[in-house]
Copies of this chain bind each other. A is one copy, B any other.
Amino acid sequence: MATTTPRSEGLRVDELAAWRGLLRAHALLSKRLDAALETEHGLALTSFEVLDLLGAEGEHRMRMCDVAVSVGLSRSGLTRLVDRLEREGLVERVSCPSDARGAFAALTATGRARLEAARPTHVDAVRAGLLEHVTPDELALLASVWERVVEAAPCTSPRCD
């Protein structure tokens, strides 16, 4: 019997291309961006993301727990990352007035300067790696797909198990 929809390992080849492509493209782009930020500004991609996140907040600070979820690290993973960033003087811990268990990660002036210095590298790499290769329609579609995928996901953060 003829196979009308060619399959490989239970997924059709076009399904496989969409999935494997996602893995490969992500690996490629994040490694390139990480390397560029590291060599040009001494920042790992995850570090940049934390600084960027804090920089976007009104008070330039955010609860540790929320940062962890936003950047996709475990609580302990974020503790260690903030340790490193604090050692470099880019971030500092501030105790939380309303809940003594909690702590804020707050961007320092040095951290803000480093963030701003690194932004162009970040923007250029994202443009060169992804944005330049997609049409406006495709761009909108990508965003829409991600929204559905992330929305549909059961929350995996430490908060909601």
Contacts and interface: CB of A to CB of B under 8 A. Distances in A.
A88 to B, nearest CB: 21
Contacts of A147: 17, 21
A90 B133 CA distance: 39
A100 to B, nearest CB: 31
A126 B19 contact: yes
Contact of A9 (B122, B139, B152): B122
B133 A11 contact: no
Interface string A115-138: 000011011001101111110001
A117 to B, nearest CB: 13
B140 A14 contact: yes
A143 to B, nearest CB: 4
Interface string A1-25: 0000000111100110111111111
- Size category of the A interface is 35 or more
Interface stretch (A26-34, A60-68, A76-84, A106-114): A26-34
Interface of A: 8-11, 14-15, 17-32, 52, 55-56, 72, 119-120, 122-123, 126-127, 129-134, 138-143, 145-150, 152-153, 156
18 contacts: A9-B52, A10-B123, A15-B127, A17-B146, A18-B131, A20-B146, A21-B145, A22-B25, A22-B146, A23-B26, A24-B72, A28-B150, A28-B156, A32-B153, A129-B153, A132-B152, A133-B145, A138-B141
